[in-house]
Every structure is written in structure tokens, then in C-alpha cells.
Structure 1
């Protein structure tokens, strides 16, 4: 058995509303064990003997059927979530948000390219570390950043999601 975190895309935004207790029940009904959620933004911790590829298929199908929407989620082992947190290249700054992008293979290349081409806001930084793209942006500028618009692209909805680094810290604490 391995510990995993499922990062769901588009939960409790744009009219896709779901209670985390119900999401956890869907995971349990799909055969996952030790299921719990972290925040209401679609972070589900669980245990399973299956690999991440199998889990993605099973859980996306279960979520889609139960909630009647096209579910997209990204599965990471506990050790990978910890590495994402530890490898954040940007120091915590009171005036900034740090984000990590979680997605399909090679998505960091697309993100890095888009970031390089985007007009940058003050104090905006992006960097790839170990195939994970990290982004730091001044508080209050997140949604107005040219780069942030990549998250809303419909062509990428099945390829990535993002989380604030503070969310990763909460997830790691729940694993313990």
C-alpha cells in the first residue's frame, strides 16, 4: 500500500460544486483506503495498492459518473508531494504567493515556454525544478498576470492544475 494525494482540477469553481465528504465517499466506494480531504479545493489523500496510472483512470471515471461532469485529476505519491514542497526554488515572501503546477508529463516545458513569452508583473518569477514548474507572483496580481491566463485555457484542462505552496504544506501534515 502506498499513500497518495489526488489533485482534482476545477473543484468548487465555475459552478462545479461538491462537498469533500461526498468526494471522499466516491474514493472509498472506488476501493481507496484511509481517505481524507485537505481543504475544499480538491485535495484527497488516500492509500491504495494500485499504481498512479490505474488510479487516475478508476478515480476519474468514478468522479465523472457520480458528479456528472468530466473529472480531471492528478495522482502523486506522498514522497513526490514532499519533494514538490522541498524543491520550491522561491523563498517564502510575505508579499507573494508561491504556486506549484501538477500535471501530465512534459507539462513543465509548455509552462516554462509560456512563462518566458509572457509579460511579467513586478516580482513575478517562474522556474522548473525536477520536472515541476514553480511560479511566484505578488499577492493581488495572480489573476491579472498574463501567465495566469494559461490556467483557464480549455485546451489544457486535462493536463494541469495548480496549488499554492501553503496547500502542499497542509497536505504533508495530513499524511503524518
Structure 2
């Protein structure tokens, strides 16, 4: 079965790794057809194992190889397609749209945090099929109140986010 692993915290805040090395770790852990998409920690691969088992195997392998506490989320090709197809926002050259991959129920936590945060006029969030989507003006992602909340230590193992365009690139590699 085809999967995509979404690594959290790759190539930010001192956790730097080459995607070729990440792919090798995946291969050494028994994954097949391994390729990376962008340098933000997206790895497409094949395996006959179940998601829960893959998550444990890959987090352990990544943690040991790179000497950091790895967090990743594994989604099937169908789940990645659902994220792409569920995007509620129209394409707008002035806005970035993000989708969040995470633990069950994290979309509700994110929505509560979003609702409490101060927002720009065109900033918006929606939950579609248990997936949290966020749209923010370009250049404001990290400076927005909600963007700062996303960096909380208490949330770090709960989710990871990707620009919606990344999902299209991942689907093209499946």
C-alpha cells in the first residue's frame, strides 16, 4: 500500500536533515519505493504494514538516526486525496492555505485556539471531514496570533501542517 509520512519539525529550529538521508532511513527500516517531496519532511513510500506499526517503526528509526525526538504522521494515498479534495478555500494569490495532519480530535483543539486568537480580516479556518484548514494572508503565517499558538510545546506532538499545494505535489508522486 502507498503512504505518505509527514514529519514534524524538519529543517526548522536546528533540526536539519537532508531528504536523501531521510529516505535512506526509511529504506533501512524496510520501506519500499521511497521518495521525498520538498525539504519539509514529506516521504512517499510503500509498505504492507498497518499505519500504527509504521508510525512506531519510522519514529524510532528517525529518532535513532538523527538523534532527536521524531514525530510523524502516516496517511494512506486515499487519506491524502481526501485532504486535497476537502480544501474549502478558493485559490487566492494573496493568501496561503494550510491543511493540518494530526491526532484524532486535534482539529477541534485547533479550532478552539483559532477562535480565541485575534485575526486579520481575511484569515479564516474551517473543519472539513475532521481536517482543520487555515487560510492566512501571505507573509503573516508566522506573525499571526494563531501562527504563534501553533508553535506551543504542548501541541508539538499533536499535528503538523502543510501548505495545500504540497498535497498536490504529494498526490502527483503517488
Question: TM-score normalised to the size of structure 2?
Answer: 0.98
**Aligned mates of 1:130, 1:137 — CA distance in 2:** 20
Secondary structure, counterpart of 2:73 in structure 1: strand
Matched, 1:168 2:167: yes
Map of 1:100 onto structure 2: 99
Structure 1 consecutive aligned stretches of length 4 or more whose deviation exceeds 6 Å = none
Map of 1:157 onto structure 2: 156
Secondary structure, counterpart of 1:49 in structure 2: coil
Map of 2:29 onto structure 1: 30
How many aligned positions are there? 174
**Aligned mates of 1:141, 1:156 — CA distance in 2:** 20
Q: 1:122 deviation in Å?
A: 2.1
Q: 1:150 deviation in Å?
A: 2.3
Map of 1:70 onto structure 2: 69
Contact between 1:122 and 1:138, CA under 8 Å: does it hold in 2? Answer: no
Map of 1:84 onto structure 2: 83
Map of 2:8 onto structure 1: 9
Matched, 1:145 2:141: no
Secondary structure, counterpart of 1:152 in structure 2: coil
Map of 1:117 onto structure 2: 116
Contact between 1:151 and 1:161, CA under 8 Å: does it hold in 2? Answer: no
Contact between 1:101 and 1:132, CA under 8 Å: does it hold in 2? Answer: yes
Q: 1:74 deviation in Å?
A: 0.4
Q: Compare 43-52 and 143-152 and name the one that shifted more.
A: 143-152
Question: TM-score normalised to the size of structure 1?
Answer: 0.97
**Aligned mates of 1:59, 1:52 — CA distance in 2:** 10
CA RMSD of aligned residues (A): 0.6
